[in-house]
Chain A
Amino acid sequence: MRNVSAKQTQKLAMAGIWGGGVITLLLLIVIIGYVLIQGLPGINWEFLSTNPKGGLSGEGGILSTVVSTLYLIGITLVLLVPIGIGSAVYLSEYAPNNRLTRIIRYGIETLAGIPSIIFGLFGYALFVTVLSFNFSILSGALTLVCLLLPTMITTTEEALKAVSYSYREAALALGTTKWQMISRIVLPSAIPGIVTAVILCIGRAIGETACLYVTMGGSAAMPSSLLEGGRTLSLHVFYLAMETNAMDKAMATAAVLIIIIILINALTNLLAGRFQKRLKGIS
């Protein structure tokens, strides 16, 4: 009798467990499916090549938002990548096992947990107001650098740690300086991992809204300088949904976003696979 009820409990439990997986999968399918079904029809050449009219109308396309997004990501990466790699190199290759290093790591962890809107407040206070960059792509980019730094550092450090210690030993034993060993052997070997880190950050940057909402202004016009305001693709979805009735345009923009994210995900997985293979080429 005992065995029967244990088996029944098991069946029930397994049903619940599989149910969990099915529901999760369904959620993904519904969300992505709905957006693509509603949005794809709205994507055409005109949509991609004209600017949104802005304001309440919701007419137009997404061109200026794409350009703003590209500018934003460009400036962000220019600062994020060197600082992120520098910090990661410090943690992985130089930092001794002492309290100072623990403080640095604590700082990075804490920064990683802070919500985007707080970064937005910070960016608004420092970049928009104190440094007088005003609502601009520049303010948004600087804010984004702060937001993304922990991700860049952590992922890059993983990439560096994955490089076999034996390479470092071999290089130093040949009479190289530490920096020669790092720059000529370790960093080149870690490049696929670093590229993954960069792509990861780009993906997050594209999806970011809160901190950019309060630092970039919301101008729908084509930006002609970094000190002008703008809106990213994600922000455009928000403005369309909240200020206009153009749900079809919002869906279309969202569909573009989803396609970009899917591509980025696929690219990251591809690179991660290549990275593993390269390091496993040795034993």
Chain B
Amino acid sequence: MTSGPRDHPIVEQIPHLRRYARALIGDRTMAEDLVQDCLERAWSRLHLWREGSNLRTWLFTIMHNLHANAARSASRRPSTVPLDEPGAAAPTRAAQEDGLEVASIDAALAMLPDEQRQVILLVGLEGMSYQEAAAVLDVPIGTVMSRLHRGRERLRQILTGSGGTALRRVK
């Protein structure tokens, strides 16, 4: 242990963990709590991280597991309006040519299942390789690809009214 906590490489990753959590959860307070929990766990388990291995993947894995646990216990009690069902607030159709407005990305993301949103954000926002995303989510890379495809197509369908559920991924 040569470096103190302030200049530990974990500190560099904090803004990224926060950005991902904010995009994943939407609610700012809940996102910040998730990051806080993740960091407490990471600092206390630092001895389990192998120096030289991928710190970012390790941290995101911790956060993913915490989020999954929280989602599991939340699913035991009935939630309010499931976002994926009719009746949930639909984002306003964007005026832009390609149908994608920054303001509507939140609402569209919220309509995706967690597993699709996670992949889209890890890859598209955090810039992870497909291998890294597969490691964080502990799924095969093929699963990452199919979730990415379904999620992005769903977004396209929501935001432009095109695409459609019938569209299948071409292998």
A and B interact: no
